Amino acid sequence: MTALADVARRTPLPHSAQRQTRAGQFSSEQLDAGAVTSLVLLRGRRIIQPDTLELVAELGEDDVWRDADGIPTESIAVPVLRAVPRPDPDLAAEELRRRDQKWLKDALDSVRRLAEREAEITTEDVRDVLTTLPRDTRSGLSVLMNRAAERRYIARTDATTPCRRRQSGGRRLRVWQSLLLTDTDERTRQAA
């Protein structure tokens, strides 16, 4: 005898999980209600997957459930959807902006301290003193140096120097002049 039975429970799913189900298997009312009814086919002593018609388990003459390979089984594992965070894009963007602003504020303090000690600096010198790097290192350091120049910590020069890092491919770095180091500070530093 063949029977089609609803599994006894209805599982409410989050809106995002509804889209991941195969919509053709469920009525629009079920999807709109936020619940999906799971179905299995009961064919005599067999449990069948409704979408593939593959045997899930069969009750043997000895009253022992066996899987499709005939191995005794005491339960059937049903995959469960896992909760996955889906951050709101606007909130995520705001959080990244907040972090970038905090990084820039802290990094500007580092550039200021470096400019108080050194007559000339490069982004490589700045990298050496930073505790963290920006999300996008190249553009982040460019923004940092330009902000430091706006605050009159440093000034752009036309001079360049080779990068010390091997992975730079011989790229040259702009040299920035400190505006915070006075002539007296420089003479004292050179004398020492």
Question: Which residue is listed with tokens 């500007």?
Answer: 108
Distance CA 65, CA 45 (A): 9
Distance CA 13, CA 34 (A): 6
Domains parsed from the chain with CATH numbers: 2-67 (no CATH), 89-191 (1.10.10)
* Helices and strands (DSSP H and E) totals, the chain: 6, 8
Rg (CA), the chain: 33
Spatial CA neighbour of 131 closest among 102, 162, 92, 171: 102
Distance CA 146, CA 120 (A): 15
Phi-psi region of 53 (alpha: psi -120 to 50; beta: other; left: phi over 0): left
Largest CA distance in the chain: 102
Are the beta carbons of 189 and 178 closer than 8 angstroms?
Answer: no
Q: What is the pLDDT along the chain (192 residues), one digit of tens a residue?
A: 333 333 333 344 344 333 334 434 445 555 455 444 456 777 889 988 877 888 889 999 998 989 888 899 888 776 666 777 888 899 999 999 999 999 999 999 999 999 999 999 999 999 999 999 999 888 999 999 999 999 999 999 999 999 888 777 778 999 999 999 875 555 566 655
